[in-house]
Amino acid sequence: MTGWENPSATRRRQILRATRTVAVLGASPDPARPSNLVATYLLASTDYDVYLVNPNATEILGRPVHETLADLPVVPDLVDVFRRREDLDGVLDEVLAFRRASFPAGTSDGSAGTFWTQFGLFDEAVAARAEAAGLETVMDRCLKVEHARFHSGPHVAGFDTGVISPRRRTR
């Protein structure tokens, strides 16, 4: 399969503005892991209700961790995936099963829901299957980077080190 593309920057911005709840699937208690950094950013710099999912942890960043998506008290607007590429098919199955159980045939919360995968996670077949099932799909994009990009740049929990800047240095 060829030709699947991420939504435009304008559409990604709309997705992030419409999002109210985020599940970080594969959240890590290790502060050096990208999922921990993204969760830290989301909790400190957004108004999102953030739910952490990891079967091997009970608490991350002082917050309770859910073993599976099915254990969440809400159906998140956006599922941010931090898993291996080879796990994406199964992760999508889990997301779809959770949404089907939460919204039986003929019911809906009015939102499509978003299946979002982090840097390095891109699979055209999974993306096409997610979209065919009615999910907005964004792949190989960092939720933290995209949020900061559309909401005035990196914040306190970001990484604005000043090393890379659009401004020219004065000599």
- In terms of Cα–Cα distance, which of 166, 163, 137, 135 is closest to 149? 166
- In terms of Cα–Cα distance, which of 151, 168, 166, 164 is closest to 41? 151
pLDDT of 102: 83
Residues 6+ apart with CB under 8 A from 44: 155, 156, 157
pLDDT of 158: 47
pLDDT of 156: 47
Q: Three-class SS of residue 161?
A: coil
pLDDT of 106: 53
pLDDT of 113: 92
- Structurally, at CATH architecture level, domain 21-150 sits in 3-Layer(aba) Sandwich (3.40)
Alpha-carbon distances, residue 133 vs 24, 92, 153 (angstroms):
21, 10, 33
Q: Three-class SS of residue 69?
A: helix
Across the chain, which has 171 residues, the per-10-residue mean pLDDT values are 85 95 97 96 95 97 96 95 96 93 63 88 96 95 93 53 46 51
Q: Are 48 and 40 in contact (CB under 8 A)?
A: no
pTM of the model: 0.84
